[in-house]
């Protein structure tokens, strides 16, 4: 991770602007005119009950779903007609609610795929595995090793990820996203299904990434104490609509939120 560590946290201008986004699947309206923005260097949470449209929102942001209406602007560029594979080159990385690792590959290879866009040598060089191709491979390996150190997964480097326990898989997925050195990181329930200790570790990693590299973070999380602890601002979705937006304290005090979400028991 070559980005210069910033001293202290610095919140910049708007990096992501979501304006009036709607998304429908046939009759189901997953998102309905949602607008919010994310500032550079911020930790922004999206919360809401199951089926509220949170994951769909992330999928719109990285171009996997195309909004039926509305506009998404990232770093000043509207990406209305974006192909899914373009989001990575714009500096967006993400993890998934249901882990989406490459099961048959080792931890190291999984994380190395995060460097794919930085690797340019053509297949003939790769077939030789020599000269520029080897140099490129080693340079990127070095970046990956820093991520591996950072997330403390050295011991599982050569393990096939399908055989890892759930908590570690989540960590490898984060590593793969970080290896791309993204400007913005989308995390879909990074702590779901973890025990208390694993959650604490994950929180620390997320805050460290944000702190040291200034990476903007948009995260979906169900554990309210976690959300309140680590996020700067929170968007609340319910049935595809935004019902609140503000600092954790403001959101907690909002009556609609209390009715729709906080009052309901989630596991």
Ligand X SMILES: Nc1ncnc2c1ncn2[C@@H]1O[C@H](COP(=O)(O)OP(=O)(O)O)[C@@H](O)[C@H]1O
Please give the residue ranges that form the binding site for ligand X (CB under 6 A): 25, 28, 30, 48, 50-56
**Distance in Å, CB of 116 to another protein, minimum:** 6
List binders of Mg ion among 233-252 (CB under 5 A). Answer: none
Containing 171, the helix (H) or strand (E) segment is: helix 166-179
Dist. CA 90–CA 74, nearest whole Å? 8
Task: Tell me which of another protein, ligand X, Mg ion, none is bound by residue 105, counting a contact when its beta carbon lies within the kind-specific cut-off of 5 to 8 angstroms.
Answer: another protein
| 160 vs 207 by CB, closer to another protein | 160
| 61 vs 260 by CB, closer to another protein | 61
CB 176 within 8 A of CB 110: yes
Look at the block and give the residue holding tokens 């020599």: 130
Containing 135, the helix (H) or strand (E) segment is: helix 132-150
| 48 vs 190 by CB, closer to ligand X | 48
CB atoms within 10 A of CB 233: 19
60 sits near another protein (criterion: CB under 8 A): no
**Distance in Å, CB of 42 to Mg ion, minimum:** 21
For every residue of 72-111, DSSP letters joined together read: EEETTEE-SS--TTHHHHTTEEEE-SS----TTSBHHHHH
| 46 vs 153 by CB, closer to Mg ion | 46
Contacting range for Mg ion; rule: CB under 5 A; set: 5-13, 49-57, 118-126, 235-243: 49-57
Q: Which residue, 161, 10, 191, is CA-closest to 95?
A: 191
Containing 203, the helix (H) or strand (E) segment is: helix 196-213
Binding positions for another protein, rule: CB under 8 A: 62, 64, 84-89, 93-94, 96, 100-105, 109, 112-114, 116-117, 119, 121, 123, 126-129, 133-134, 137-138, 141-142, 145, 176, 180
């Amino acid at each position: 991770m070559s980005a210069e560590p910033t001293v202290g946290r610095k919140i910049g201008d708007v990096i992501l602007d979501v304006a009036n986004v709607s998304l429908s699947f046939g009759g189901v309206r997953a998102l309905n005119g949602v607008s919010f923005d994310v500032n550079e260097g911020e930790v922004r949470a999206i919360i809401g009950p199951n089926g509220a449209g949170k994951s769909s929102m992330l999928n719109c942001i990285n171009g996997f779903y195309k909004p039926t209406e509305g506009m998404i602007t990232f770093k000043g560029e509207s990406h209305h007609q974006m192909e899914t594979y373009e989001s990575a080159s714009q500096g967006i990385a993400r993890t998934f609610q249901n882990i989406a690792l490459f099961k048959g590959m080792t931890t190291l290879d999984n994380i190395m795929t995060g460097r794919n866009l930085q690797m340019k040598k053509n297949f003939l060089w790769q077939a030789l595995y020599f000269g520029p191709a080897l140099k490129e491979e080693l340079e990127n390996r070095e970046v990956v090793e820093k991520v591996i150190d950072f997330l403390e997964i050295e011991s599982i480097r050569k393990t096939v990820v399908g055989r890892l326990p759930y908590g570690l898989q989540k960590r490898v997925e984060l590593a793969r996203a970080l290896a791309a050195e993204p400007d913005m990181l989308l995390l879909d329930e990074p702590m779901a299904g973890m025990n208390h200790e694993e959650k604490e570790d994950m929180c620390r990693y997320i805050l460290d990434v944000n702190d040291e590299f200034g990476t903007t973070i948009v995260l979906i999380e169900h554990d309210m104490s976690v959300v309140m602890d680590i996020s700067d601002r929170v968007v609340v979705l319910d049935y595809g609509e935004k019902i609140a937006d503000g600092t954790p304290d403001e959101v907690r005090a909002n009556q609609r939120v209390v009715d729709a979400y906080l009052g309901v028991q989630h596991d």
